[in-house]
């Protein structure tokens, strides 16, 4: 009997564990910020070489390979300057956003994005998916903000152009673990994540904090 179940009630924690495992395998020390409740803006702390990064994780179940930025509100639809990430006041502010789509604990895809890249991509999505009108002229209601990196049929030229821009921005940050049983692809992904980490986890004021400096 197969008792494996990944749904909306547990995909968040599974996604956080996936990202933690990936980073730990690359020499990071990772801590869960949600052990004593839900932490606003960031879910994980990742530490390496006396630097620490704050990571927000957004997980989704396989349907098939669709990712989500989180829920938008009316303010995000009406105001292009309203940020989708780091929207809450508090001690934590994400430097990096991890978007994960989980088919099983061993088969998944994820993107590791500097928070500014994640925000820019989300704003493109909101522009074509929520700030346009329905076919009957009605305004669209707030909901979860979805995207895929695979070709999809777009109803309008605005949506088609927006999806293309969004995908081109995000595709370089993708790590694909959906074919882990293939030795050649598995070896390619080892190089892929090494290159991605060197691009995303860089020591700059915009996405890292020195340990012991507050």
**40 contacts 83 by C-beta, under 8 angstroms:** no
**Per-residue model confidence (pLDDT) at position 33:** 96
**Per-residue model confidence (pLDDT) at position 213:** 42
Q: How many domains does the chain have?
A: 1
Q: Is it the case that residue 84 has pLDDT exceeding 60?
A: yes
How confident is residue 87, by pLDDT bands cut at 50, 70 and 90? very high
Q: pLDDT, tens digit, for every residue of 123-167?
A: 999 999 999 999 898 999 999 999 999 999 898 999 999 999 999
Distances (CA, A) of 73 to 52, 87, 211: 30, 11, 34
pTM for this entry? 0.90
Determine, yes or no, domain membership for 24.
Answer: yes
> Would you list the DSSP string of 96-164?
EEEEEEEEETTEEEEEEEEHHHHHHHHHHHHHHHTSSPPTTSPPPPP-EEEEESS----SSHHHHHHHH
105-131 mean pLDDT: 96
Determine, yes or no, domain membership for 30.
Answer: yes
Neighbours of 95 (CB within 10 A): 23
Q: Is it the case that residue 16 has pLDDT exceeding 90?
A: yes
**Per-residue model confidence (pLDDT) at position 204:** 56
94-112 mean pLDDT: 95
Residues forming a β-bridge with 110: 100, 175
* CA distance between the termini of the chain: 50
Lowest mean pLDDT among 97-101, 128-132, 188-192: 188-192
**Per-residue model confidence (pLDDT) at position 105:** 87
Q: Is it the case that residue 212 has pLDDT exceeding 70?
A: no
The domain in which residue 130 lies consists of 11-207
**Per-residue model confidence (pLDDT) at position 191:** 79
**Per-residue model confidence (pLDDT) at position 3:** 65
Determine, yes or no, domain membership for 193.
Answer: yes
Determine, yes or no, domain membership for 212.
Answer: no
Determine, yes or no, domain membership for 134.
Answer: yes
How confident is residue 202, by pLDDT bands cut at 50, 70 and 90? confident
**Per-residue model confidence (pLDDT) at position 185:** 67
**Per-residue model confidence (pLDDT) at position 208:** 46
Whole-number mean pLDDT of the chain? Answer: 90
Determine, yes or no, domain membership for 214.
Answer: no
Beta-strand pair 51-61/209-210: antiparallel
- Contacts with 115 (C-beta within 8 Å, 6 or more apart), sequence order: 56, 85, 86, 94, 95, 96, 97, 207
Determine, yes or no, domain membership for 2.
Answer: no
Determine, yes or no, domain membership for 213.
Answer: no
**Per-residue model confidence (pLDDT) at position 207:** 47
Beta-strand pair 51-61/96-104: parallel
């Amino acid at each position: 009997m197969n008792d494996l179940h990944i749904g909306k009630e547990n995909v968040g924690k599974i996604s956080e564990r996936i990202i933690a495992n990936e980073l730990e395998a690359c020499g990071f020390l990772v801590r869960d910020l949600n052990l004593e409740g839900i932490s606003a803006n960031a879910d994980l702390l990742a530490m390496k070489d006396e630097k620490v990064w704050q990571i927000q994780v957004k997980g989704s179940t396989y349907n098939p390979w669709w990712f989500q930025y989180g829920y938008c509100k009316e303010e995000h639809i009406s105001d292009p300057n309203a940020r989708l990430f780091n929207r809450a006041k508090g001690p934590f502010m994400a430097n990096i956003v991890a978007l994960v789509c989980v088919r099983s604990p061993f088969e998944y895809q994820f993107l590791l994005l500097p928070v500014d890249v994640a925000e820019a991509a989300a704003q493109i999505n909101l522009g074509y998916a929520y700030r346009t009108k329905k076919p009957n002229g009605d305004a669209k209601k707030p909901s979860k903000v979805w995207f895929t990196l695979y070709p999809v049929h777009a109803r309008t030229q605005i949506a088609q152009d927006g999806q293309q821009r969004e995908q081109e921005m995000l595709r370089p940050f993708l790590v694909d673990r959906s074919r882990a049983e293939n030795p050649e692809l598995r070896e390619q992904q080892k190089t892929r994540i090494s290159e991605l980490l060197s691009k995303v986890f860089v020591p700059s004021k915009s996405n890292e904090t020195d340990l012991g400096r507050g």
